């Protein structure tokens, strides 16, 4: 995670077991992990600003993969994680990195999905949970829930309504994925759509 930890809080409240919380910057999410008695780890990203030439994305992805591996993690749930990761992580956890995104993918990929949905004049958007790949906001879709765009919406109000859906959907998908893993099935084999 990279931010306030509201998705983590929803996951914990739903009773989904969490073995490790990792953030790429100091943030409230680490405190939520600590308060819940979960090992919390900062794998600090020292440079921000998109695709800055001074940020070594491959080295960061490898360091993150090493940290997850050292803690025995086998399923990664990204929750508002603001760093795009390379194959250094995805190759270590093939098909085992999940992500939640505030749109109905494949529409409105990227960091500004909510603003892009509003700017497009779309009448609905939503939340998607998918298997993350090296390609941005790509990979098999596990579940989606639509959220109507209201005439009165601005970016903040629409994003808050999407987050309400996300906080219910992501724990549900994680629970199903974990049950499938215990049955020997991979995450991409489930599909929940609403």
CA 40 to chain CA centroid, nearest Å = 17
Closest CA relative to residue 2, chosen from 62, 43, 57, 39: 43
Domains, the chain: 1-94 (3.40.50.170), 96-184 (3.40.50.170)
What pTM does this model have? 0.91
pLDDT tens per residue across span 67-78 = 999 999 999 999
pLDDT for the residue numbered 188 = 73
pLDDT for the residue numbered 194 = 45
Mean predicted confidence (pLDDT) in 41-65? 81
- In which band, very low, low, confident or very high, does the pLDDT at 50 lie, cut at 50, 70 and 90? low
Q: Are strands 97-101 and 76-77 parallel, antiparallel or unpaired?
A: parallel
Mean predicted confidence (pLDDT) in 57-64? 92
> What is the residue-wise DSSP string for 106-132?
TSS-STTHHHHHHHHT-SEEEEEEEE-
Q: How far apart, in Å, do the first and last CA atoms of the chain sit?
A: 25
Contact 103, 128 (CB under 8 A): yes
Which residues are known catalytic residues?
101
């Amino acid at each position: 995670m990279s931010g306030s930890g509201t998705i983590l809080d929803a996951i914990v409240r739903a009773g989904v077991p969490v073995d490790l919380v990792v953030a790429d910057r100091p943030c409230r999410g680490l405190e939520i992990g600590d308060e819940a008695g979960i090992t919390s780890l900062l794998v600090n990203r020292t440079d921000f600003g998109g695709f800055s030439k001074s940020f070594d994305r491959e080295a960061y992805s490898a360091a993150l993969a090493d940290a997850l591996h050292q803690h025995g993690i086998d399923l990664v749930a990204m929750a508002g994680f603001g760093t795009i990761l390379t194959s250094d992580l995805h190759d270590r956890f093939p098909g085992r990195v999940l992500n939640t995104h505030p749109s109905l993918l494949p529409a409105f990929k990227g960091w500004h999905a909510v603003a892009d949905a509003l700017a497009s004049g779309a009448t609905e958007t939503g939340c998607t949970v998918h298997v993350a790949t090296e390609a941005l906001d790509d990979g098999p879709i596990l579940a989606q829930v639509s959220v109507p765009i209201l005439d009165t919406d601005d970016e903040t109000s629409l994003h808050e309504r999407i987050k309400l859906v996300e906080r219910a959907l992501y724990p549900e998908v994680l629970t199903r994925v974990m049950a499938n893993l215990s049955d020997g099935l991979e995450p991409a084999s489930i599909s929940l759509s609403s």
